[in-house]
A and B are shown apart, each in its own frame.
Chain A
Amino acid sequence: MKINTSEQLDSMICSCTEALNNKINGADGKRAVVLCGGTGCLSSHSNEIKAKFEEVIAENGLSDKVTVNQVGCFGFCSQGPFVKIFPEATLYRLVTVADVEEIVKTDLMNGQVVERLLYVDPSTQEKIQKQDDINFYKKQKRVALHGCGLINAEDINEAMGYGAFKGIQRALTMTPKEVIDEVLASGLRGRGGAGFPTGRKWSFAYANEADQKYVVCNGDEGDPGAFMDRSILEGNPFAVIEGMMIAGYAIGASEGYFYVRAEYPIAVNRLQKAIDQMTEIGMLGDNILGTDFSFMAHIRLGAGAFVCGEETALLNSIEGKRGMPRPRPPFPAVKGLWGKPTVVNNVETLACVPYVLREGAGEFASTGTDGSKGTKVFALGGKVNNVGLVEVPMGTTLRELIYDIGGGIPNGKKFKAIQTGGPSGGCLTEEYLDEPIDFDNLVAKGSMMGSGGAIVMDEDNCMVNIAKFYMEFICDESCGKCTPCRIGTKRMLEILTKITDGKGTMEDLDELEQLSEAVKNNSLCALGQTASNPIVSTMTHFKDEYIAHIVDKRCPAGICKNLMQYKIQKDKCFGCGLCSRQCPVGAISVTDYTAPGKKKPALQIDAEKCIKCGMCMASCKFGAIVKE
């Protein structure tokens, strides 16, 4: 059915809302099984589990009493795959294909909860049945992730049952200027990392007269360890398209382009389906809701270049060129895609826009801090118990993020640092844990919000090695257009390699500092301008680790291969010879020392021959081999 007027949309939304509510509260007389269909859970066989559910449900003659659907990311990736059963909203975690039969027989047929699949609170050992009662979810607020983990992302009716298109509907009753003012009033800032006020960006493009303007959605989420944009596109693509339409209406653009990483096939697929479904009912195309506003959205794929996350490089890539940044000014709002005024917004930013229009700028601005309104999605990863996707109000402290939501550090290890902002950001140490998260505060403390990657590191991580890891990444991804970035990052990487190889000198540290400054000040785009941030922040907070590598030729965390040695503790060695048989280079030989109480002589490792593969340590049954 085509929707031609605002009234038709109202009645559509009304019936869809009723249908979705009936599904959730069981008023349709059916039980509903929903499974997480995010990339993480799909890797853990969510598709097979869904097929098994359908099979077992059919076998037991329940097909007309139970529906099975896949929805977007639940966020709690380390406990996936998830299965949720309505109307009780029972949440099962770490479900496997083998568990399906039991869930169907015990829960769906007999109304009993399968206790062993419930989430167990690690501190109280209590079994928790409902998602909202789990600590991981308690401090979260879903704005950008609206509908993720609830609606079927491939079904426009479920999206309309959960608020979709109310934002564009309201926007179309306002003038473009009023829409921009509303977004300005909400305080929404760009979620891609830089935090530029979205309304201001729009007003620049609005002010530039042109026969054609464009909206571009930046879905080139290249920051390693960040996956919020992907999850939003997988969980509720309709919201992002709606946000793009609102931006289009505000600036006077009739065409939009999604630039999405080719590494995200599921997101691309769902986005395309959403575009097709919206086109079919007339929510995309000419004269939307009977107004003069027409809009069409297209998808373009990235091809594996991190620099294309930079907006002008991205525009070049859409134009079929090498993804190299352009000098700014002119800014894209003046001269963007194909030389026309263009607004480039991040996925998460656009996902927030419908909320602003639907609920009002005041409601959006009611959460957050003075300078940063609303919420922020983080991809929490690394050495933290609850790995996953979390959306918290701005102003939440790092401690709440890591300990209350993240559940702390695994295996009783000690927290060392949290890296935000990926290769462009910095790390923050224990003393900053009570700092509230917002754009300006993180910058003031020497890191940055970035796009939302938050990687936790513990005492086993070497910070010099982490700095080197990010520099390798940047060096690899530098497009080569400007000299400071192309050559500067290479030189910095060489120095870091020298230090981690145990050949560094104290002068190298001064040189690193100078180079950091030079690359920051002279690079063309943000990739180079921020490239040295990980070095600067690790040198500020972990200077002692750098010095240990240089002066003591020692890696305190035992990570840097060339600085570490495997040793056999001769008093613990039984002389069984298992390690010497595992050693690929024959570096282990017999000594003439036999420890008290042991029958055979102890073994030793020849440090010259050792390639530090770690096979010996892994094979020793007596824990006699140590790495130091």
Chain B
Amino acid sequence: MQKLSEAAVKQINEICDRHANDKTPLMMILSDIQKEYGYVPVDVQEIVSEKTGISVAEIYGVVTFYSFFSLKPKGKYIIGCCLGTACYVKGAQQIIDKFSEILGIAPGETTEDGLFTIDALRCIGACGIAPAVTINGTVYPKMQVNQVQKVIDDYRSKED
């Protein structure tokens, strides 16, 4: 396993210190790590364990329970397909299937080049513009199956 850089260790320590005065701070620490560091691998969990005195087993249990925490890094572009009921009845499944088909990955996975991750989201509350897709925070309203290829191409072309 790749060793954590010094900067990373410092960052994780700093996040733990931030919540030192809170009762039962584990969820908040993990949320901040996920947000700022991007993922929560086992060696990061070990540092959290040392800082908080909570066992790695328990931390690992919490990390794997909640869908927001991930053990692996995510892609540069996170394609969030809303699969809330309102989007689903308007064809969201076909949209996410199309993304999967074109990128060759299942929801939750990341492409080998590290560019795209597909996430199946539960209701993002944009029911008025269903089916909705968000890519790194940009919302694509009323998506259609035949627009999927173009959306992916647009992001790919940014990389060339």
Report A's interface with B, CB cutoff 8 A: 39-40, 43-44, 77-78, 80, 222-227, 230-231, 262-264, 300-306, 317-323, 338, 379, 381-383, 387-388, 419, 422, 453, 455, 457, 461, 466, 469, 473, 479, 613-615, 618
Contacts of B139 in A (CB 8 A): 43-44
- With A44-B141, A303-B27 given, is the CB distance from A39 to B123 under 8 Å? no
Q: Which of A80, A226, A387 contacts B123 (CB 8 A)?
A: A226
Q: How far is the CA of A78 from the CA of B142 in the complex (A)?
A: 11
**In this complex, what residue of A is CB-closest to B139?**
A43
- With A224-B83, A225-B84 given, is the CB distance from A323 to B66 under 8 Å? yes
Distance in Å: Cβ of B52 to nearest Cβ of chain A: 9
Within 8 A of A (CB), among B55-71: 58, 61-62, 65-69
Check if B86 is an interface residue, CB within 8 A of chain A.
Answer: yes
Contacts of B69 in A (CB 8 A): 303
Q: How far is the CA of A231 from the CA of B27 in the complex (A)?
A: 24
**In this complex, what residue of B is CB-closest to A306?**
B122
Told that A317-B27, A323-B65 touch, could you supply 8 new A-B pairs with CB distance under 8 A? Answer: A39-B125, A80-B128, A225-B84, A225-B85, A226-B123, A227-B127, A321-B26, A614-B94
Contacts of B90 in A (CB 8 A): 382-383
Distance in Å: Cβ of B25 to nearest Cβ of chain A: 7
Please state if B24 and A453 are interface contacts (CB–CB under 8 Å). Answer: no
Within 8 A of A (CB), among B114-160: 121-130, 132, 139, 141, 145-146
Contacts of B130 in A (CB 8 A): 381, 387
Q: Which of A305, A381, A388, A614 contacts B85 (CB 8 A)?
A: A381
Please state if A383 and B85 are interface contacts (CB–CB under 8 Å). Answer: no
Q: Which of A306, A455, A479, A614 contacts B86 (CB 8 A)?
A: A455
Q: How far is the CA of A320 from the CA of B48 in the complex (A)?
A: 13
Please state if A224 and B85 are interface contacts (CB–CB under 8 Å). Answer: yes
Contacts of B145 in A (CB 8 A): 614, 618
Q: How far is the CA of A338 from the CA of B85 in the complex (A)?
A: 35
Contacts of A321 in B (CB 8 A): 26, 58, 62
Within 8 A of A (CB), among B74-128: 83-86, 88-90, 94, 101, 121-128
**In this complex, what residue of B is CB-closest to A618?**
B146
Please state if A300 and B126 are interface contacts (CB–CB under 8 Å). Answer: no
Check if B12 is an interface residue, CB within 8 A of chain A.
Answer: no
Please state if B25 and A320 are interface contacts (CB–CB under 8 Å). Answer: yes
Total count of chain B residues near the partner, CB < 8 A:
42
Question: 1/0 contact trace for B7-32 toward A, CB 8 Å?
Answer: 00000000000000001111110110
Please state if A322 and B88 are interface contacts (CB–CB under 8 Å). Answer: no
Please state if B124 and A77 are interface contacts (CB–CB under 8 Å). Answer: no
Ordered by A's residue number, 14 sampled pairs between the chains whose C-beta atoms are within 8 Å are: A39-B126, A40-B126, A264-B125, A300-B27, A300-B28, A301-B27, A303-B34, A305-B65, A338-B24, A382-B85, A383-B89, A466-B89, A469-B85, A479-B65
With most chain A CB atoms within 10 A of its CB, the pick from B23, B54, B125, B126 is: B125
Q: How far is the CA of A321 from the CA of B124 in the complex (A)?
A: 25
**In this complex, what residue of B is CB-closest to A338?**
B23
Please state if A304 and B67 are interface contacts (CB–CB under 8 Å). Answer: yes
Please state if A457 and B89 are interface contacts (CB–CB under 8 Å). Answer: yes
Contacts of B126 in A (CB 8 A): 39-40, 43, 77
Q: Which of A262, A387, A615 contacts B68 (CB 8 A)?
A: A262
Q: How far is the CA of A320 from the CA of B122 in the complex (A)?
A: 23
Q: How far is the CA of A220 from the CA of B127 in the complex (A)?
A: 18
**In this complex, what residue of A is CB-closest to B140?**
A43
Please state if A304 and B85 are interface contacts (CB–CB under 8 Å). Answer: no
Distance in Å: Cβ of B156 to nearest Cβ of chain A: 19
Distance in Å: Cβ of A510 to nearest Cβ of chain B: 28
- With A77-B127, A226-B123 given, is the CB distance from A320 to B62 under 8 Å? yes
